[in-house]
Structure 1
Amino acid sequence: MSLWQLYYHIVWATKERQPLIMPHKEPGFYDYMIGKSDALRCIVHAIGGMEDHIHLVVSIPPTMAIAEFVKNIKGSSSYYFNHSLTSTSNKFAWQEGYGVFSLGSKQLDQAVNYVKNQKSHHLQGTTNSHLEKVQI
């Protein structure tokens, strides 16, 4: 068995930054993405976001490319949202692209806290401009 400790902070947005991820839909949506990550043998340390974007702190094994993980999660979660969480004709989609930042083990707790407290960071204006300005 190989030893690995790989941590990433990944950010991506809804198509055209539409505010589609309403608070009452978050728990089921996030649970789905965590379950899908588990099935891919990835570890979600934190998940959170706002109505128009999402942050994940995740460990992805070295046998999987980051792009493969993101493609899998974005594609399947979009399908799940459209078939399980909405009954409107306003279809959910993610924007192309994403931002990814590698973390050291000493940065993990700070990244997890940042992601878990997205709403208060946005309300208080204490967001990390490098993470939030990712043009995706």
Structure 2
Amino acid sequence: MFTEEMLRCCESIMIEVCDDFGAVLVDFNGEHDHVHLLVHYPPKVALSVLVNSLKGVSARLLRKEFGPHVGQYLSDGHFWSPSYFAASCGGAPLSIVKEYIESQRRPG
């Protein structure tokens, strides 16, 4: 469903949401059906709350901006899957994690 334009908009939205939490979106990329984020967030922030906000705000604003396009891909009415994957990368060099995120094939 994601186009290059949608991914740029999604990244901007997620930067703002992270700012609201005192977090930093270090890196962002996406493919046609999912996104990858590298986020540095303070320990006082519950990861599940941050993720729910990222997904909720982005879903609302992306539907508003790209409604007709998005509508054709939603069979169950949900923009994002209810699940997510999160991993700590405290031991891995950030350059390796960033390289992985940047290597994702963005839609043309």
**Shift in Å, 1:35:** 1.5
* Paired position in structure 1 for 2:27: 46
TM-score of the superposed pair, with normalisation by structure 1: 0.67
Greater percentage in strand: 1
Residue matched to 2:18: 37
Asked if residue 65 in structure 1 is aligned to residue 51 in structure 2, the reply is: no
Which 4+ runs in 1 deviate beyond 2 A? 85-92
Question: 2:61 aligns to what?
Answer: 80
Cα distance between partner residues in 2 of 1:105 and 1:39: 26
Structure 2, unmatched stretches of 5+, are none
Q: Deviations over 1:64-115 (max 9, x none)?
A: 1110110000011000110123334435600011111101264211111211
1:101 and 2:87 equivalent?
yes
The alignment's C-alpha RMSD in Å is 1.8
Q: In 1, are the aligned partners of 2:28 and 2:101 still within 8 Å (CA)? A: yes
* CA distance in structure 2 between the partners assigned to 1:87 and 1:40 by the alignment: 31
Alpha-carbon distance in 2 for matches of 1:29, 1:67? 19
Aligned residues: 101
Identical counterparts, % of pairs: 23
Choose from 18, 21, 25 the match for 2:2: 21
